[in-house]
Every structure is written in structure tokens, then in C-alpha cells.
Amino acid sequence: MRCDTTINSTLFTKQTITKRWTSNINKRLQLDRLTARRINCTTAFIQLVTSTWNEMITSGDPLQKNWAIALEVLVGIKPPRPSTNEATR
């Protein structure tokens, strides 16, 4: 997005930036879960994935103990909070 803004003078709305950021973070979460389940399924790596993402995941229900390797779909991550020092538009 930075390159697109610099080269093409494209301006992005905060909503577009937030959606792209959330999408990319969700993709990374799913990649880490896939890696923990199929490629590097050691206890240490599963604990690393769990500790990395546990605070970020939103879910109406409590998370399963083994959510990092479970086949169920997670709701996703919490969207970023608006800045407290930025004026509301």
C-alpha cells in the first residue's frame, strides 16, 4: 500500500487500511495454525503459536485448549482500536 501510494498517488481510507491489515493478520494466524498442525507439530511450536495469538483471537465462546491445532474455524482477530489521540471525524 505504501508503494501504491508513493508511485501511483493512491489514497486509501482508514476502513480500507483496517480491512487489509485484518485480512493479512488473519492469513498469518491461519498459516501458523496450519504449520502447527501439519508441518511442525511439536509441543514447543504449538505452545509458541498459542502464546503468540491467544490474546488476539476473538470468540464468543471460550477457546478450546488445543485451538491452535483444532480443525474448527476461529472467528479471527480483534480489529485495531482507534487511536485515542486522533480527532474523531
Over residues 21-41, the pLDDT tens digits come to: 888 888 888 888 888 887 777
Confidence at residue 88, expressed as pLDDT on a 0 to 100 scale: 45
Would you give the distance in Å from CA 17 to the centre of its chain?
14
Please give the helix or strand (H or E) that residue 57 lies within, else none.
strand 57-58
Over residues 1-10, the pLDDT tens digits come to: 888 888 888 8
pTM (2 d.p.): 0.64
The one-character DSSP state at 86 is S
